[in-house]
Structure 1
């Protein structure tokens, strides 16, 4: 009888679930793996589309649901939610006794999972460590703290792997695999433009449109409403149809949701609002879009694979490695409108963006990650960490 390795994934938001899902798909077909998920955070909130339904539809076994999202605009609400999440994770890990726990990125789940599992001597595999953004967001500190707790690192670029080495991480722990979200992105079924549900509102097949995803930054939470208004006013001035997906659950999201709802009501011929688009519709919406605007990591990590121009607004994502498809602007409606015009109407720029190669992967990352999770030796060498650099 095969001794199955039990692997537990923890997900709190649509964005990181999209990254881990191709790995889940790989492992779910392996006879030597027992696969379960813990679902928490925004996945369980009606405000953010209750995206746990997507996980249920994908057919993965959910070991636990941890309700920790505090409905508050105050920063303390997120901290209280983190404490609740740690307690829930501790009980779930003690009950499930996984061999490996997997987490993605730089949200609160990354630090709560890695810290809790480390105290329980459970190996943690972390995706997307070593990345760099100079935007003042708490996510950066979370990402690096998670890397110090984690035992296995799957990086998206060789530069990220080198950052981890410089942080004192053992080389045997680091695997540069690329971004598994691109597996689904590249191989997602193509839906004809006239069959993409949100695009039924377009008057002609050639009408350009925008996709907007703009998240709050916790250090700028009090300005989130003013910031999104600059973006919305730029779109109104241009008069181009714009499909808006809801922001994440960070402090400041209430103000953004209030403003995008207000503008969608006042300009129904321009703005079309979605709490959560399913992955297939989202990818096909991007495939046909003129520009992605806002500050989503999708513009950095995924948009290059389809040659999509991006206008990144504000400080979020600044100084992350870009393939050359991104124009960075401030929270200023004139700058935003100018960058959108450049992205749509400059044929030389559009041709350049169409020709770039995505440095974050080629669509074959999930198997590389699943192979490591299945085969890596779980022993004291893996679990008990030391710093490799010497003073």
Structure 2
């Protein structure tokens, strides 16, 4: 039996990982061990570890990381303190593989600890670009520390191979969100309103904004322009969700809290919807706005038009239903009005592959040859190299 440790640090990555967790747990040849960290263990972000437990999963290890100080210096210190805790969790569990998703500091720290301990790493969503955040450096670093790679588009697979990874270990199985949306059954609008204590009249904007330290402008400026732009659209109701625990998040969250209190007749706030609640709210919304990855991933697949603010998602595939205005209140308001006036999407598009990510990934984790230690050779590209396609 092969032991698979899977790391989750936020409500967002847990939603994407849930199907894979279920597929691993259901496989008699695999032993699932979940490592919970990040905002799952933080009261101010909803302590969403409870959602994992409600889904029937057992938490093998819980590793707090964030001190509550959102400065860059504190984040660096938090990662340094968490590194030996992740190492101890991995040593106690003794996994054959540890799975990490994305590009957050939690994933980077776990991959670093695993590399030092010679534990093979499997990375989901490598090869992507988000030029407005430091995530690119973290994501590509995780790629180099990983033995198996599960990418969401052929382009992303090519980029991982360009980083020197053997094409035989780089898989295009699509994005986890495609599995989720294939079987997604939205909650009725009234149920969403009652469960979360919000209003979803027509038209409603669903808004999520996270700080990104390499964005086109400071986060405090961008969120101000976004909120002013939303408010400038007459009759638009606004539902805002909580920001991630990122560098600079306190100022963003404080400004949003003031905005909510200043405009109670037009604005509702939900710290964490959970995945089904969030997707149901998105389906009910007339437009999605902000800089969350959901503006370019989930919204286009669900057929909800979106307005993307700033450079946080720059470099990701952008569907025709996503508008990227200049980051000024006037331009944002104009983009929202255009999206509200646009005809419904007849054929929602997705560049992220076909359903089956969880099953294919679990099978690969079970069947792939994974040496210990995970020794790799650098894959050099030759002229005319097709990158393993």
For Structure 1 versus Structure 2, the TM-score category normalised by the shorter chain is over 0.9
- Contact 1:309 1:325 (C-alpha < 8 Å) held by counterparts: yes
Give the distance between the partners of 1:273 and 1:48, measured in 2 at CA: 13
The superposition leaves residues 226-269 of structure 1 with CA deviations (integer Å, 9 ceiling, x where unpaired) of 22111111111114111111111112211111111111111111
- Contact 2:66 2:78 (C-alpha < 8 Å) held by counterparts: yes
Give the distance between the partners of 1:390 and 1:294, measured in 2 at CA: 38
- Contact 1:138 1:218 (C-alpha < 8 Å) held by counterparts: yes
Who is 1:103 aligned against? 100
The superposition leaves residues 165-210 of structure 1 with CA deviations (integer Å, 9 ceiling, x where unpaired) of 1111001111101111232233122322232236875486xx1100
- Gap change, CA 1:10 and 1:42, over 3 Å in 2: same
Give the distance between the partners of 1:203 and 1:375, measured in 2 at CA: 46
User: Is 2:35 aligned against 1:38?
Assistant: yes
Counterpart pick for 1:328 among 318, 324, 330:
324
- Contact 2:36 2:62 (C-alpha < 8 Å) held by counterparts: yes
User: Is 2:246 aligned against 1:250?
Assistant: yes
Counterpart pick for 1:359 among 351, 354, 357:
351
Give the distance between the partners of 1:234 and 1:390, measured in 2 at CA: 47
- Contact 1:133 1:317 (C-alpha < 8 Å) held by counterparts: yes
Give the distance between the partners of 2:44 and 2:200, measured in 1 at CA: 30
- Contact 2:34 2:61 (C-alpha < 8 Å) held by counterparts: yes
Counterpart pick for 1:262 among 243, 258, 265:
258
User: Is 2:171 aligned against 1:180?
Assistant: no
Give the distance between the partners of 1:8 and 1:201, measured in 2 at CA: 37
* Corresponding residue SS for 1:196: helix
In the TM superposition, 1:59-70 aligns within 5 A as: 59-70=56-67
- Contact 1:132 1:140 (C-alpha < 8 Å) held by counterparts: yes
C-alpha displacement of 1:312: 0.4
C-alpha displacement of 1:388: 1.2
Report runs of 4+ in structure 1 exceeding 3 Å deviation: 198-204, 219-222
- Contact 2:198 2:268 (C-alpha < 8 Å) held by counterparts: no
Give the distance between the partners of 1:321 and 1:189, measured in 2 at CA: 25
- Gap change, CA 1:32 and 1:252, over 3 Å in 2: same
In the TM superposition, 1:214-363 aligns within 5 A as: 214-219=209-214, 223-239=218-234, 240-347=236-343, 350-351=344-345, 354-363=346-355
Give the distance between the partners of 2:187 and 2:78, measured in 1 at CA: 39
C-alpha displacement of 1:73: 3.1
Who is 1:78 aligned against? 75
- Gap change, CA 1:390 and 1:28, over 3 Å in 2: closer
Give the distance between the partners of 1:73 and 1:166, measured in 2 at CA: 34
C-alpha displacement of 1:222: 9.1
User: Is 2:148 aligned against 1:152?
Assistant: yes
Two-structure CA RMSD over aligned residues (Å): 1.9
Question: May I ask how many residue pairs the two structures share in their alignment?
Answer: 380
Unaligned runs of 5+ in 2: 383-389
- Contact 2:11 2:274 (C-alpha < 8 Å) held by counterparts: no
Give the distance between the partners of 1:322 and 1:368, measured in 2 at CA: 26
Who is 1:374 aligned against? 366
* Corresponding residue SS for 1:242: strand
TM-score norm. by structure 1 comes to: 0.93
User: Is 2:6 aligned against 1:12?
Assistant: no
- Contact 1:218 1:250 (C-alpha < 8 Å) held by counterparts: no
Give the distance between the partners of 1:186 and 1:13, measured in 2 at CA: 22
* Corresponding residue SS for 1:383: coil
* Corresponding residue SS for 1:47: helix
C-alpha displacement of 1:303: 1.5
C-alpha displacement of 1:362: 3.0
The superposition leaves residues 252-308 of structure 1 with CA deviations (integer Å, 9 ceiling, x where unpaired) of 211111111111111111111111112211111111211110001112122221111
